[in-house]
Structure 1
Amino acid sequence: MPVEVVFPELAAYRARTTRLHPRPGQPGAHDSHVGGPMLWPDGETWPYCHEPHQRETEGYAPEEIRRARAAGNWPPRRTWPLAEGAEIRGPVPFIGLAQLFRRDIPGLAPGPGGADLVQLFRCPFSHGPHLERRYHLRWRQAGPTGHAEGLLVAPPEVPLLPGEHELPEPCVLHPEEVDTYPWAEDDTLPASLIARIDAWDDAQVAEHGPDAPSYQYDLSIPPGWRVGGHPSWASTGPMAVDCATCATPMRLLLTADSCEADGGSHSWIPLEDRDPTLRGPASIRGARVVAQPTRLGFGRDGDLHVFTCPTDPGHPPRWVLS
């Protein structure tokens, strides 16, 4: 039953999101993807992180990670090539996480000057005592970039990564547009509506047991990589995200998720990827290929929300782990 039938007031808060449904594959530089080759003109400087980085003693070689995944094994840990416990000195190349074309994802908000291609990068190392991460967003005009004289074939890599989950698995995308509704907590919705939603959830559990569908996990916001729509706030609780330049409330551009499916999101798993006779993780067909296709991790198995300024997308983006 559509959620608006039960709560008609939610129609005013409806927002479209595009689920990306990444699956391991062989995307090209001219494709939208997670973890594939970037459309990057040869000769243009690759993005580097110039901040101090956390000390490391061991890590995983990117090429060994790729070979181990292909063989279904776990890569070996190697001793860091620097002195034991030494600080990583000098600039570190960012890792390309994803690129998205508006031609493939019409709901993707335009960038500065109407840019229609966005590329997401992450520094593979943590920073400071709170182990913070650094991300980079690059906007492009797809047409002129695609006609560049030559494209970068082999971007720079660090010799060792601190974790296997820092290297994305190349994935093709299968976009799907769905309706989403706000996370029901604090002041994201009127208090009276949140109270009714909570009461409805309790009634569902009383009637159908602990596996009954709930608003938060089954009816409001899907898991996984997605563009636009509403942010989920499972770990942090809702927060205001305003532009640091002009104080305008920012909009959600993209969500990168550690998992595409879990035990609490049964109803969002595509029909072809689940066993209708089972519930929870056991119902997911394809196991890790479906549940964690990108092999990336964000925070404690959480979401990375990328926000941009609707007044001027050229203002610095904000990154929120939730």
Structure 2
Amino acid sequence: MTRTTPARPVSVEAVFPELAAYRGRTTRLHPRPGRPGMRESHVGGPMLWPDAEPWPVCHDPHQPETEGYAPGEIRAARAAGAWPQSRPWRGAGAPGADGPVPFVGLAQLFRRDIPGLGSGPGGADLVQLFRCPFTHGPYLERRYRLRWRRAAEAESAERFFAAPPEVPQLRWHDELPEPCVLHPEEVDTYPWAEDDTLPAPLIARIDAWDDAQAEALGSEALSYQDDLSIPPGWRVGGYPSWASTGPMTIDCASCAAPMRLLLTADSGEMDAGSHSWVPLEDRDPDLHGIASIRGGRSVAQPTRLRFGRDRDLHVFTCPSGPGHTPRWVLT
């Protein structure tokens, strides 16, 4: 089934004509629980991974743990519509004390499914995203990894991983992605309005408009950031959101070139302030506003993943050197 973003409650360029010069495109991925195959774009599904290639592992020291969740029990609880039960940590307190920790495959994206996907080294057209399931250091840092491939070469392998290695226990149940099929849809997007992301006079007008909306309509008020600029959820390309950090300059550590947003992975597909973006297919046409949304958690948080304290994970890559180290920013 396709997913169709509703028209914006007002035309942003009618209210702020200057924004026409900043209009961009982003591809909303619209993940929904399903059974994706390894030759499909997905979140949480089987990776297209040649059997002869080692699965990525984390060798860095990890923080000690006291309790956790078994992956099999997480899956069983989700299937039953229940919450999994945590159990005392098995073995040594620090994950990886007995050897490297396998990364968890979070998503894979083919350009044939998502035309706006950037290119990797050597024209690679398939990207795979991984995360170490445990935290590192006193600031509980996370480790992510990108694997770029040429899809045709990867698909020509003789054998593939049937089941990747998996840790026996996870610290949190939201470290395990729910397998989701994708419904890519391109929509217009506009920059986050703060600091120097837009000209100061335009930001001042946007802020004044938001204030007037709030004064006139209260809880029913629209806002530029929530309703008009950047959609929530998993998306490719477009503009980054900066809700918790404020705008940041993201430059390449190798060549100092400004980096480009490749992908945003979101803890949820909506919240109380951004529900106007929920697709028409997930709404009851006889109801209005947030009350019209159907599907419960499969719409609001389909992937079951969490990034930071319910933040966005922005993945930036270097347009000048696709092989340069990507940057990961929680906002």
Fold-level similarity (TM above 0.5): yes
**1:293-312 to 2 correspondence within 5 Å?**
293-312=302-321
After the TM superposition, which residues 1-322 of structure 1 pair with which residues of structure 2 at under 5 Å, given as runs? Answer: 1-83=10-92, 85-86=93-94, 88-89=96-97, 90-275=99-284, 277-280=287-290, 282-322=291-331
Post-superposition Cα deviations, 1:4-45, rounded to whole Å, max 9, x if no partner, equal 111111111111000000000000000000000000001200
Does the residue aligned with 1:209 lie in a helix, a strand or coil?
helix
Amino acid at match of 2:169: L
TM-score under structure 1 normalisation?
0.97
Structure 1 residue 80: deviation in Å?
A: 1.8
Tell me the SS of whatever aligns to 1:143: helix
**SS class of match (1:210):** helix
Percent identity of paired positions between Structure 1 and Structure 2? 77
Task: Note the residue ranges of structure 2 that are not aligned, 5 or more in a row.
Answer: 1-9
Alignment match, 2:7: none
Q: Contact 1:211/1:279 (CA < 8 Å) preserved in 2?
A: no
- Higher deviation after alignment, 70-79 or 235-244: 70-79
Runs (5+) with no aligned partner, structure 1: none
Q: Distance in 2 between matches of 1:18 and 1:241?
A: 21
Cα shift at 1:136? 0.3
Count of residue pairs the alignment pairs up:
320
CA distance in 2, matches of 1:116, 1:88: 33
TM-score by length of 2: 0.94
How far does the alpha carbon of each residue in 1:141-194 deviate from its partner, in whole angstroms, 9 at most, with x for none?
000101110111110000100000000000000001001011000000000000
* Cα drift, residue 283 of structure 1: 4.0
- Native 8 Å contact 1:117 1:140 kept in 2: yes
The amino acid that maps onto 1:235 is S
Aligned equivalents of 2:52 and 2:95: distance in 1?
Answer: 29
Distance 2:260 2:94 in 1: 40
* Contact map agreement 2:313 2:329 (CA 8 A) in 1: yes
CA offsets per residue over residues 37-76 of structure 1, 9 Å max, x none? 0000012000001100010121111111111111112222
